[in-house]
Amino acid sequence: MRIISWNLNGLPATLESGCLKAVEKLHPDVLCLQEIRTEREPNVIKNYRHIWNHAVQSNYSGTVTITRYKPIFIDKGFDDSEGRIITTEFEKIFVVNVYVPNSQLNLKRHEYRLQWDEKFFDYICELKGEKPIVICGDFNVTRSALDVFESHDKMQAKELGFLSDERNNLELLLSEGFVDVFRELNPTTRSYTWWSNRLNQRDINHGWRLDYFIVSENLMEKISAVEHLTEILGSDHCPIMLELAL
């Protein structure tokens, strides 16, 4: 099974630019898109099933899971106003497409983010009792200094994207029998999935790793590859891809 995840920072613009064609050529079995920021439901890939979760607020947040297989069950989690979760159940796994809230400048949504993290933790822990899980998407936090470009000298616990309580929440989730696939397979590699649009940060590879595949421990032996598809443009994030033998 090939799973691709991508925060688009707006589906309409990505479709207009044609950048999604590069992902389509990879023939994913499941494509998880975040921050679609649209109420429209275009046919992104022909002959695939499209499962949408729109935010109530116009042009904001939202997710879509696009799959060549018919899910056994679909759930949109606990978040019914910002469209941040889609869980698709297949024969052997759950795939959870997630767009975790950003604490935003001046941390005006920080408390909301922490409450959301707690609900997500409970949601995943309840789900894991049924079958293995692949969680993918934008977690809006880095795990460690290794996940941020080396010359970034302002990293501190109080800075957006590095907040210690948000990192702790991610580590708490991992402690419940889950694995950060990229870091497990690449323990010392610096590779990023997001770059600021300001000051040509992508051109000089001043990025952060914000996008993850997090899987149940018993799936690790079935994983053959995980990649950051940094050559694919069209968003301030790049797609990430997981190869899983089921």
**Which residue numbers are catalytic?**
99, 138
Strand partners, 223: 244
The closest of 147, 142, 135, 132 to 162, measured between CA atoms, is 142
E-assigned strands of the chain? 2-7, 30-34, 49-53, 63-67, 73-75, 85-89, 94-99, 133-138, 178-180, 194-195, 207-208, 211-216, 223-228, 240-244
The closest of 180, 178, 177, 141 to 157, measured between CA atoms, is 141
The closest of 208, 210, 206, 244 to 226, measured between CA atoms, is 244
Strand partners, 227: 241
C-alpha 110/C-alpha 115 separation (Å) is 9
What are the backbone angles phi and psi of residue 14, rounded to the nearest 5°? -70, -40
Two structure tokens written together for 240: 């990430």
In this structure, the strands spanning 133-138 and 94-99 are parallel
